[in-house]
DNA sequence: GTGGTCTAGACCACG
DNA sequence: GTGGTCTAGACCACG
């Protein structure tokens, strides 16, 4: 569920950050649901607790989760999370689209790319 | 012409790589045109020669430029370069689009984003 | 009446401590009035009895309440309590004011902030 | 210059954060000025490099400094920094003032406290 | 040399 | 048991 990929060059804590966002957007993690404890998750996926904590802390400062010292970490308002996820995705998409247009690809071609994506 | 931005988190050699591609796609760098010598360019834009070297090496590895030992580095076939640039842009764009759709944004919204981009 | 907020980063026992002070200052808790028993209050507001115990201990240590073993805990002399509350508030206020002046904010601006506060 | 106090219960990285803000506000650190390298500062004040890095990273995400991996860390726009420092100070001051008024202290008394503060 | 990531392991406050 | 802080120390990419 929280699997990360150590082969890839994306920092582990960043993969974890994105994974939480994804799980919320897909409705697998619900509002106020408790996340695994830092040490538990670290053990589960075989990484250091400090790395999990770094991910959790970034999630917290972005308003995606909230942590209660001594109690645990919980998913914040789903609306906020979905909003953040969409903004991040739209920004990345817009940048890539500008780059593509900038390199001479036509808008038509980009429209086609989108239509050709089949989601599993 | 080869200006780079050290404030940004993207490695300088990568910025330089992209800039060469961009200059070719825009027709500013022509086929077989010679690139500035490593040390000259490094001095011009105030960066380490090793960094320019690395950018040139990656450009050569990807068939975008070719080097003649003792003479200099030159832009390879424009068609090849444009092809590579397009492939890279399409790949990045596709990835961003999948991510966006994955996060629940509709294809319609993505189409709109593309149509709303006004290129300068 | 003794409601606390677990979402906030302030320790629960500290919130409880402040709340008692507040209730006394506002005249809701009277001199010699008995406080709820530790276990009762803990159950009422859904927190750990140890936490209530800690708050009560600190309140007693500071002379705000007094405990009669086997009987219960009671509000000490109102004058004393109000005095303590004022001292704490003035100290915190003075520290914040020094910090503000220290950071270059003018005394005039601080005076304005005070005048602009409308109490509900 | 960057001295921290280990006796106090405020986290070291937080003390360091505040100290940088203070040095900028007082004009001791100038715009674009380079901060000591993480490892150098850590050695200087006798703490772990990770702790210094945590302070620097928080400073960066708040727009107070900017770090260039491989180059160093620098003070961001002074205006931004002063703005942030003032906002933090005003917020803390306002909270303390509300608390004080709430506990029954008069506005007049608060005005007097401010006038009585003599800055060194 | 510089910042960034990660591990291993310790201790603390709070509940 | 839980998150938060901190140390010691390693390795990496970039320049």
pLDDT tens digits for range D78-104: 999 999 999 999 999 999 999 999 999
**The predicted structure's pLDDT at residue A54:** 98
CA angle B45, B51, B54 (to 5 degrees): 130
pLDDT for residue D119: 65
Residue C26 lies in a domain: yes
**Considering its fold, how many domains does chain B have in total?**
2
State whether D111 and D60 are in the same domain. no
Report the 10 Å Cβ neighbour count for C2. 16
Q: Are residues A71 and A110 in the same domain?
A: no
Q: Strand E: which nucleotides have any atom within 7 A of a protein Cβ?
A: 1-10, 13-15
Beta-carbon pairs below 8 A across chains B and D:
5
Show which subunits contact B, needing at least 3 CB pairs below 8 angstroms: A, D
Rounded CA separation C118/D3 (Å): 40
Residue D1 lies in a domain: no
- Locate the chain D residue with the closest alpha carbon to C19: D103
Check residue B26 and give its pLDDT.
93
Indicate if A59 and A106 belong to the same structural domain.
no
Residues 45-104 in D having a C-beta less than 7 A from any atom of strand E are: 50, 53, 56-57, 60, 67-73
pLDDT at B55 over 80: yes
**pLDDT-flagged residues of chain A (< 50):** none
Give domain status of residue B45, yes or no.
yes
Q: Assign residue B73 the CATH number of its domain.
A: 1.10.10.10
Residue D109: what pLDDT? Answer: 97
Percent of chain A clearing pLDDT 90 (strictly above): 94
Left if phi > 0, otherwise alpha if psi is -120 to 50, otherwise beta: which for C32?
Answer: left
- Whether residue B69 is predicted with pLDDT greater than 80 in this model: the reply is yes
CB D49 within 8 A of CB D42: yes
Structural tokens at position D76: 């961001």
- Please report the pLDDT score of residue D20 as a whole number: 97
Q: Do strands A65-68 and A72-75 pair parallel, antiparallel, or not at all (unpaired)?
A: antiparallel
**Residues B26, B72 share a domain:** yes
pLDDT at B76 over 90: yes
- Whether C54 and C30 map to the same domain: the answer is yes
- Verify if strand F has an atom below 7 Å from the CB of D39: no
- Residue C71 maps to a domain: yes
Pure H helices in chain C:
12-25, 38-45, 49-61, 78-102, 107-116
CA D6 to each of CA B85, D11, D36, D48: distance values in angstroms, whole numbers, following the listed order: 55, 8, 20, 13
- CA nearest neighbour of B116 among C112, A110, A113: A110
pLDDT of res. A120: 58
Low-confidence ranges of chain C (pLDDT < 70): 119-120
Contact residues on chain C for A71, CB-CB shorter than 8 A: 6
The answer to whether the CB atoms of C90 and D105 lie below 8 A apart is yes
C52 to C15, C43, C56, C66: CA distances (angstroms): 10, 10, 6, 15
Cβ atoms < 10 Å from Cβ of A99: 18
Q: Do C7 and A66 touch (CB under 8 A)?
A: yes
pTM: 0.92
Buried b vs exposed e over D72-98: b needs ≥16 C-beta within 10 Å? ebbbbebeebbebbbebbbebbbebbb
Same domain, C73 and C92: no
Q: Are residues C45 and C91 in the same domain?
A: no
Q: Return the pLDDT at A118.
A: 83
Cβ distance of A69 and C6 shorter than 8 Å = no
Vertex B113 angle, CA B109 and B115, to 5°: 115
Please name the chains neighbouring A, where neighbouring means 3+ C-beta pairs under 8 angstroms: B, C
Mean pLDDT, chain B, whole residue set: 95
Residue ranges making up the domain that contains C65: 12-78
Angle between helices C78-102 and D107-116 (to 10 degrees): 50
Are residues D42 and D71 located together in one domain of the fold?
A: yes
Please name every residue paired with D115 in a beta bridge, in sequence order, or none if there are none. none
Nearest chain B alpha carbon to D71: B6
Instruction: Tell me if B4 is assigned to some domain.
Output: no
Would residue B91 count as lying in a domain? yes
Residues of chain A contacting C, Cβ within 8 Å: 66, 68-69, 71
Band of the pLDDT at D13, cuts 50, 70, 90?
Answer: very high
The nucleotide closest to B47 (CA, C1' atoms): F15
In a domain, D2, yes or no: no
Of chain A residues 24-63, which have a beta carbon within 7 Å of strand F? 35, 37-40, 50, 53, 56-57, 60
User: Are C32 and C67 members of one domain?
Assistant: yes
Q: Do residues C21 and C52 share a domain?
A: yes
Q: Please give the Cα distance from B37 to A107 (Å, whole number).
A: 37
D118 — pLDDT class (breaks 50, 70, 90): confident
- Position D34 in a domain: yes
**Please, what is the average pLDDT of chain D?**
95
Residues D109 and D87 reside in one and the same domain: yes
What's the distance, CA C56 to chain centroid? 11
Nearest CA distance, B70 vs chain A (angstrom): 32
**Domain co-membership, C71 together with C33:** yes
Q: What is the pLDDT of residue B120?
A: 58
């Amino acid at each position: 569920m929280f699997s990360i990929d150590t082969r890839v060059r994306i920092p582990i804590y960043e993969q974890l950050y994105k994974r939480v966002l994804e799980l919320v957007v897909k409705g697998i993690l619900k509002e106020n649901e408790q996340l695994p404890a830092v040490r538990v998750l670290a053990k589960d996926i075989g990484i250091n607790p400090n790395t999990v904590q770094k991910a959790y802390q970034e999630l917290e400062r972005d308003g995606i989760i909230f942590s209660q010292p001594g109690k645990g970490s919980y998913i914040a308002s789903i609306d906020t999370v979905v909003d953040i996820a969409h903004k991040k995705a739209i920004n990345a998409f817009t940048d890539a689209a500008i780059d593509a247009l900038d390199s001479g690809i036509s808008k038509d071609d980009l429209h086609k790319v989108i239509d050709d994506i089949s989601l599993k």
